[in-house]
């Protein structure tokens, strides 16, 4: 038997839930199914965290899921705290807009906005149902989309949206597996880390925000031993601060079109800010709203140059760490317990004890060496190349030619309005995508504000098509 709906949303994390919220708010009657294997909507990989120490890496003023109200999260948090929720927030002694909420609490906020949208949708005659299962195959028929679930159920819809969210490298099986995940601890599994000898040495691959989360997890698990971090460039995320406003120089100068021009002008503005005693993060924060335009108009050569030469520094400066987490990393680094090594991971080595051995090659050297530890954590970030994601739906979509890799193999290709491009480059009339799968199209397509804007725009397009 097949269940039918006007719109099938594949993925019920932040992307799928915000899209559902926007669809439910629009006038008109429509049926919506969200296909999400987790028991709760609105959480996904990012907001299923249960530890208070795993916080957003942006303050409340930057994390609204309502593109029409940038203060939405701040307002929700204000009421939530006043009602007795999140009592630990008072320890930070800053305005609510500057708080960095726990990711689990942010998931509650998203769920409440969905509950409110359901009420509005019911007034229009719209319905939303959560189908708690994993989608494993999709077929694009003449006038509809047919989705097959792992439990054998089939769903048919007028249109479907790939809102699959992120594939964390630590939790994603890969087609070209190094065996790393099989030997590694989950960066967010505090319970598993409590089983370690508190004084043992822990090895971490990757030095970005996932590494910061892993260090927080170790601290909360009571680990007090050495932590050895290995990444190609050995760069740590900068701490996120609250700089004053800076002139939007990209809005004033439309001659800046290439990554090289952007970096040259950005460095100049950062130097000017520092000379005036202003935080260098102020000019950097003005760039965010222009990234999609700059990335989409860049050539493939320019994009490759950016990814190869600039990306590590861009991410360490732009994807910054929440203050409390950054303070922990800084303290452990100062104590000598946490050490950062610029070295490439070359693979696992056989171990004759209960620990784990890895082979790394220090940056600038030709010879590799073996490093021993009691445990290993994969904090290498997000896997954006769908060809490497060993999960049924991405593999089936690629095999059927319904999608093609996006620019630089980042996510999948789509038209500007979100319609997915098939293997022949034709835009689908029934299959759309939003959020992290469009990383190659817009570069920054993962943050809350990016996802919220895409959700509103795509909801409007889907509603206008009937």
**CATH code of the domain covering residue 192:** 3.50.50.60
Rounded Cα distance between 259 and 276, Å, is 26
Domain co-membership, 294 together with 418 = no
What ranges make up the beta strands (E) of 314-460?
A: 338-349, 356-362, 369-373, 375-378, 419-421, 427-433
pLDDT for position 465: 85
Inside any domain, residue 244: no
Inside any domain, residue 79: no
Does this model's pTM top 0.85? My answer is yes
pLDDT for position 203: 98
Average pLDDT over residues 415-439: 96
pLDDT for position 182: 87
Average pLDDT over residues 57-70: 96
Domain co-membership, 253 together with 176 = no
Rounded Cα distance between 160 and 180, Å, is 34
Check whether 146 has a pLDDT greater than 80. yes
Average pLDDT over residues 292-316: 90
Domain boundary among 266, 298, 318: 318
Q: Which residues of 195-216 are buried (b: 16+ CB within 10 A; e: fewer)?
A: ebeeeebbbbbbbbbbbbbbbb
pLDDT for position 350: 85
Degrees, nearest 5: CA angle 58-288-68: 70
Assess contact for 130 and 170: CB atoms under 8 A: no
Interval 37-56: pLDDT, tens? 999 999 999 899 888 999 99
Domain co-membership, 139 together with 227 = no
Inside any domain, residue 61: no
Domain boundary among 350, 378, 406: 378
Among 249-258, 288-297, 343-352, 428-437, name the most confident range: 428-437
What is the token pair recorded at 208? 């970005």
pLDDT for position 191: 95
CA distances 59 to 82, 217, 372, 445, Å, are 18, 20, 38, 18
Segment (H or E) for 10? strand 2-10
Tell me the backbone φ, ψ of residue 304, rounded to 5 degrees: -65, -40
Q: Which residues of 75-88 are buried (b: 16+ CB within 10 A; e: fewer)?
A: ebbbebbeeeebee
The order of strands in the sheet holding 369-373 is 369-373, 356-362, 338-349, 227-231, 202-205, 375-378
Domain co-membership, 11 together with 136 = yes
Check whether 244 has a pLDDT greater than 90. yes
Tell me the backbone φ, ψ of residue 40, rounded to 5 degrees: -120, 145
Inside any domain, residue 84: no
State the CB neighbour count (10 A cutoff) for residue 417. Answer: 11
Rounded Cα distance between 69 and 59, Å, is 15
CA distances 172 to 45, 221, 378, 382, Å, are 11, 24, 11, 9
Percent of the chain topping pLDDT 90: 85
Domain co-membership, 403 together with 295 = no
Categorise residue 93: left if φ over 0, alpha if ψ from -120 to 50, beta otherwise: left
State the CB neighbour count (10 A cutoff) for residue 155. Answer: 22
Inside any domain, residue 70: no
Inside any domain, residue 226: yes
State the CB neighbour count (10 A cutoff) for residue 365. Answer: 12
Band (pLDDT 50/70/90 cuts) for residue 254 is confident
pLDDT for position 466: 74
Domain co-membership, 435 together with 313 = no
Domain co-membership, 182 together with 273 = no
Inside any domain, residue 65: no
Inside any domain, residue 438: yes
Domain boundary among 318, 347, 365: 318
Residue from 210, 165, 164, 167 nearest 189 by CA: 210
Mean pLDDT rounded to a whole number for the chain = 95
Domain co-membership, 331 together with 390 = no
Check whether 256 has a pLDDT greater than 90. no
Interval 6-21: pLDDT, tens? 999 999 999 999 999 9
pLDDT for position 140: 93
Domain co-membership, 201 together with 342 = yes
Domain co-membership, 269 together with 399 = no
Range of the domain at 140: 2-54+102-167+384-464
Domain co-membership, 329 together with 233 = yes
Rounded Cα distance between 288 and 295, Å, is 11
Domain co-membership, 146 together with 206 = no
> How many domains does one find in the chain?
3
User: Both ends of the chain: CA-CA distance in Å?
Assistant: 25
pLDDT for position 42: 96
């Amino acid at each position: 038997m097949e269940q039918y709906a006007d719109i099938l949303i594949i993925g019920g994390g932040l992307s799928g839930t915000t899209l559902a919220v926007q669809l439910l708010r629009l006038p008109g009657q429509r049926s919506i199914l969200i296909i999400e294997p987790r028991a709760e909507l609105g959480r996904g990989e990012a907001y299923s965290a249960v530890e208070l120490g795993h916080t957003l890496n942006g303050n409340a003023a930057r994390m609204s899921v309502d593109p029409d109200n940038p203060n939405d999260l701040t307002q929700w948090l204000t009421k939530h705290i006043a009602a007795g929720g999140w009592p630990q927030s008072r320890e930070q002694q800053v305005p609510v807009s500057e708080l960095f909420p726990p990711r689990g609490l942010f998931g509650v906020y998203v769920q409440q906005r969905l509950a409110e949208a359901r009420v509005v949708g019911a007034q229009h005659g719209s319905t939303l149902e959560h189908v708690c299962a994993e989608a494993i195959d999709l077929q694009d028929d003449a006038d509809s989309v047919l989705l097959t679930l792992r439990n054998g159920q089939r769903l048919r819809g007028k249109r479907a949206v790939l809102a699959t969210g992120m594939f964390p490298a630590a939790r994603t099986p890969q087609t070209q597996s190094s065996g790393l995940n099989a030997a590694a601890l989950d960066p967010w599994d505090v319970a598993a880390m409590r089983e370690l000898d508190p004084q043992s040495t822990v090895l971490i691959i990757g030095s970005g925000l996932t590494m910061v989360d892993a260090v927080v997890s170790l601290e909360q698990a009571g680990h007090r031993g050495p932590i050895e971090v290995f990444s190609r460039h050995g760069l740590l995320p900068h701490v996120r601060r609250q700089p004053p406003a800076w002139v939007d120089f990209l809005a004033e100068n439309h001659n800046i079109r290439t990554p090289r021009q952007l970096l040259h002008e950005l460095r100049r503005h950062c130097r000017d800010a520092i000379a005036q005693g202003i935080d260098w993060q102020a000019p950097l924060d003005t760039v965010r709203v222009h990234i999609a335009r700059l990335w989409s108009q860049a050539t493939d050569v320019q994009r490759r140059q950016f990814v190869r030469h600039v990306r590590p520094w861009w991410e360490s400066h732009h994807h910054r760490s929440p203050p409390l987490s950054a303070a922990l990393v800084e303290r452990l680094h100062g104590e000598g317990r946490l050490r950062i090594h610029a070295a490439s991971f070359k693979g696992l080595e056989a171990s004759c004890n209960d620990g784990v051995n890895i082979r790394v090659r220090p940056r600038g050297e030709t010879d590799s060496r073996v490093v021993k530890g009691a445990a290993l954590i994969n904090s290498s970030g997000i896997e954006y190349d769908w060809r490497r994601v060993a999960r049924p739906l991405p593999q089936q979509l690629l095999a059927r030619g319904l999608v093609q890799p996006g620019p630089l193999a980042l996510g999948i290709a789509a038209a500007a309005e979100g319609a997915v491009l098939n293997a022949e480059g034709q835009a689908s009339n029934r299959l759309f995508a939003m959020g992290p799968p469009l990383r190659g199209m817009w570069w920054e397509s993962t943050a809350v504000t990016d996802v919220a804007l895409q959700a509103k725009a795509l909801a409007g397009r889907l509603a206008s098509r009937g």
